[in-house]
Structure formats: C-alpha cells, structure tokens
Amino acid sequence: MDKARIEFLTKDFIRGFPAFCNLEVLSVGRGRFESQLRPNTQHAQRDGYVHAGMLATMADHTAGYAAYTLVEKHISILTIELKINYFKPAVGERIVCRSKVIHQGRTILVAESELFAITAESEKLVAKATVTLMAIANRAAVV
C-alpha cells in the first residue's frame, strides 16, 4: 500500500459521523487499522462508562477501514454483519480499537476488532467484534 493511499484513508476515516464521535486514527497497515477515542461525557451511558453503541461504532468503522487497505480505490466497503461481545465496562483515558482482516475473498471480507480501555496503569480488553464486510464497486467513483 502506497503512502498516498495511507494518507487518503487516514483523512477519510474521520469524515461524517466518525468526526462527530471524535474518533482518531492511530495506525494504518495492510489489512490492519487502529483508532482511538478520548472519551468525554458525550460518549457515556448513564453510569459513566463508554456507551456500548460507541464501542460498536468504533469496532465497525475501524474494521471497515482495515478492509479498505486491501481493495482498489474504486471499491466501497459495506458492513453486512456485526457481532460484538462486551467483556467489562469501558472506562479509561483512551479507548483503542485494533482491527485486522482475517479473511479476504473477492466480495466478502471478515475482520476482527478488539477494543481496549487504556489508563496510565493498564490496558484492558473490554470488547471484541467480528465484522463481515462486502466489497462493491463505488458507483460515484466509476462514473
């Protein structure tokens, strides 16, 4: 993957809803993507933990961009299934999502996302997701 593609994906990752959520890119590699969230009160559920929906958003979006690292520029990635397990409440200075593609077919890709709550003292796995994605021609790019 060339430097221009990495720069494009890094900028593209934080457009729209992910920008609203304050997601940030940490690293990009072939079949891998890593993001982070610096949680604030807007990300919390009623008990003060990071909301499960926020964790699912991170898992889904980061997995999608891990898949984007493996396809041509004119291909779009769409989620067709998301399964997530939550292991413990997410609380920390940062939430980090590490996603990697574990299967790459012509049309279907599968990625795993692990989410960690990070403090100065620890890094705890708080959730893990499996995301099934579909690669399709981007109609806007083909025109």
What are 55-68's pLDDT values in tens digits?
999 999 999 999 99
Average pLDDT over residues 123-136: 98
Q: Which residues pair with 119 in a beta bridge?
A: none
The side-by-side arrangement of strands in the sheet containing 23-29 is 23-29, 32-37, 94-104, 108-118, 123-137, 75-86
What are 72-121's pLDDT values in tens digits?
999 999 999 999 999 999 999 999 999 999 999 999 999 999 999 999 99
Average pLDDT over residues 34-38: 98
Q: 117, exposed or middle or buried, with CB in 10 Å at 0-12, 13-18, 19+?
A: buried
Average confidence score pLDDT of the chain = 95
* Domains of the chain by start residue, with CATH: 3-142 (3.10.129.10)
At 46 the pLDDT is 94
Q: Cα 86 to chain center, whole Å?
A: 16
Q: 110 with 96: CB under 8 angstroms?
A: no
Q: 51 with 126: CB under 8 angstroms?
A: no
